[in-house]
Amino acid sequence: MWEVAVFLAVIVGCGYLVIWLRRKYHPKSHRAVPGNWTIEQIEGIYKAGQISDQEFKVLRRQVLSPGFTLIELIVSVSIMVIMILIFGTIIGQTQKVVSGSQATMRSNNTVRAIAHVIRTDLRKLTKSGFLCITHKYDNSTNTYYPTPVLIFATAGLTQSKTDSVTGLGGVSVYGHCDNSSTGDSGNPLAAIFLRQSWVLNPMGTGADIWPIDLAVLQTLPRTHVTDPNINDLVNRLRELTGNLSVPPENLSDIANLWQVLSSESDKISIMWTDGTTDAGGNLNWYGIDYDNAADINIDRPKDGDWTTRDITSGEIEFDNNGYRALWTRHNQNNWPKAIKIKFELNGALVWDNSTTYNTGDYAVRGGNYYRSIQKDNTNHEPPNATWWEKVKSQGMWYEVIASVN
């Protein structure tokens, strides 16, 4: 609405400008009313009392507000067009700045909410349980995923999100899962950054209940000496298959939205530190990082021999269908000092068929980033190569660091 007001103000301003220029540079002696009376003659007649005040005002108005010539109209229209183009450019740039600011504010709000959830969870972490950084893995199809997963046990009263059941502890899981929603285009959407939380209660039956007591969990062996054991528990928890749809498509999807941290995050990194520093005084971080150059998650272990070991070695880092770092109650002195979760939030909005994109504008469709290569790009859905080119992500990286007490 304010754009229309500015447009009208520009037109009115141009009109006043032309009138002012005409009056300034058109000599009074040449301004005449029908009968070729000049303004000086009219003023003389008025002073002599030969015409009334009203007649003087009418004649004076006719002299000072004559019609426009063709050249004057051309000049005034030209000025108006130039002003419209200038203000149109300013308005377009302003809209881009506003859109960018809104996207930044939305991302910052999302990051604050995610950081609050992560830090609240890690404050309840118990070293009598376990902490694990590993890769996502689909046990039913034996499919390995490079994306990392963080799993740990918590102590304290834990409320079920799907039932009225409570427990004295829980298990939290952070990672990525696929978005089963396809939106309005039928294309896959970006992955979902999620947090799954399980209430430890052997008597519970809810969807987020793990049928084991915290006291029992704290007695489980590290490896498969007996069943159950911590390593097998981690293997089951790291699947992160979920059935999450954003936007939700039915009531079941709505009921599962509590697990969603962000539906605009395609990349994640989960690292740990033992408190040591490099030559520059910076903390050494290990775990599963994200390599922007290679555009894939990579392992950054502390011990380069981790691939030669399995769970039976008793070491922190070992191979379990990919990198795994596992801490349990059996050696509480070697636990990490802090955990760092780094994630990327999309820097572009999901493509909208009602939005007009200009050259250089970005949009997300099907989890991929595209840049418009033409102006006035409306209702041309990516990956239409005539209008879009596929590019690397334009998101912003954020990190949350929390201490492990």
**Of residues 155 and 90, which shows the higher confidence score?**
155
Q: Is residue 368 part of a domain?
A: no
Q: Which of 69, 92, 115 is the last residue in one of the domains? A: 92
Q: Are residues 275 and 175 in the same domain?
A: yes
**Of residues 57 and 176, which shows the higher confidence score?**
176
Q: Are residues 253 and 309 in the same domain?
A: yes
Q: Is residue 184 part of a domain?
A: yes
Q: Are residues 140 and 50 in the same domain?
A: no
Q: Is residue 296 part of a domain?
A: yes
How does residue 366 score in pLDDT terms, banded at 50, 70 and 90? low
Q: Which of 345, 366, 393 is the last residue in one of the domains? A: 345
Q: What is the rounded CA–CA span in Å between residue 295 and residue 286? A: 18
Q: What is the rounded CA–CA span in Å between residue 391 and residue 193? A: 22
Q: In this predicted structure, which of 149-153, 248-252, 291-295, 361-365 has the lowest mean pLDDT?
A: 361-365
pLDDT number for residue 340: 96
Q: In this predicted structure, which of 12-26, 89-103, 296-310 has the lowest mean pLDDT?
A: 12-26
Q: What angle do CA 401, 304, 138 make, to 5 degrees?
A: 70
Q: Are residues 40 and 141 in the same domain?
A: no
pLDDT number for residue 29: 44
Q: In this predicted structure, which of 106-110, 206-210, 366-370 has the lowest mean pLDDT?
A: 366-370
Q: Are residues 129 and 60 in the same domain?
A: no
Total domains, the chain:
2
Residue 184 has pLDDT above 60, yes or no: no
pLDDT number for residue 400: 93
How does residue 254 score in pLDDT terms, banded at 50, 70 and 90? confident
Q: Is residue 283 part of a domain?
A: yes
**Of residues 348 and 307, which shows the higher confidence score?**
307
Q: Are residues 77 and 138 in the same domain?
A: no
Q: Over range 13-33, report the average pLDDT.
A: 56
Burial class (CB in 10 A: 0-12, 13-18, 19+), 187: middle
pLDDT number for residue 16: 64
Q: Which of 326, 345, 364 is the last residue in one of the domains? A: 345
Q: Are residues 271 and 147 in the same domain?
A: yes
Residue 349 has pLDDT above 60, yes or no: yes
Q: Over range 264-293, report the average pLDDT.
A: 92
Q: What do you get for the CA distance between the two ends of the chain, in Å?
A: 54
Q: Over range 24-49, report the average pLDDT.
A: 64
Q: The pTM is what?
A: 0.72
How does residue 57 score in pLDDT terms, banded at 50, 70 and 90? confident
pLDDT number for residue 315: 92
Residue 182 has pLDDT above 90, yes or no: no
pLDDT in tens, 219-249: 888 887 666 788 888 888 887 655 688 888 8
The answer to whether 146 and 296 are in contact (CB under 8 A) is yes
Q: Is residue 361 part of a domain?
A: no
Candidates 77, 254, 93, 112; CA nearest to 181 is 254
Q: Are residues 55 and 129 in the same domain?
A: no
Distance of CA 338 to the CA centre of its chain: 26
Q: Which two tokens stand for residue 267?
A: 């990349």
**202: how many CB neighbours lie within 10 A of its CB?**
13
pLDDT number for residue 117: 93
pLDDT number for residue 319: 93
Q: Is residue 167 part of a domain?
A: yes
Domain that holds residue 297: 124-345
Q: Are residues 187 and 318 in the same domain?
A: yes
Q: Which two tokens stand for residue 182?
A: 């396809």
Candidates 152, 161, 174, 244; CA nearest to 207 is 161
pLDDT in tens, 321-336: 899 999 999 888 899 9
Q: Over range 211-217, report the average pLDDT.
A: 89
Phi–psi pair at 361, nearest 5 degrees: -75, 150
Q: Are residues 69 and 216 in the same domain?
A: no
Q: In this predicted structure, which of 10-24, 36-50, 59-73, 232-246 has the lowest mean pLDDT?
A: 10-24
Residue 4 has pLDDT above 90, yes or no: no
pLDDT in tens, 123-181: 999 999 999 999 998 877 888 889 999 999 999 999 888 888 899 999 999 998 888 77
Q: Is residue 402 part of a domain?
A: no
**Of residues 68 and 154, which shows the higher confidence score?**
154
**Of residues 390 and 225, which shows the higher confidence score?**
390
Q: Is residue 234 part of a domain?
A: yes
Q: In this predicted structure, which of 30-34, 44-48, 140-144, 387-391 has the lowest mean pLDDT?
A: 30-34
CA atoms within 13 A on the CB side of 36: 0
Q: Are residues 128 and 254 in the same domain?
A: yes
Percentage of the chain surpassing pLDDT 90?
Answer: 28
Q: Are residues 143 and 241 in the same domain?
A: yes
Residue 25 has pLDDT above 80, yes or no: no
Q: Over range 45-62, report the average pLDDT.
A: 78
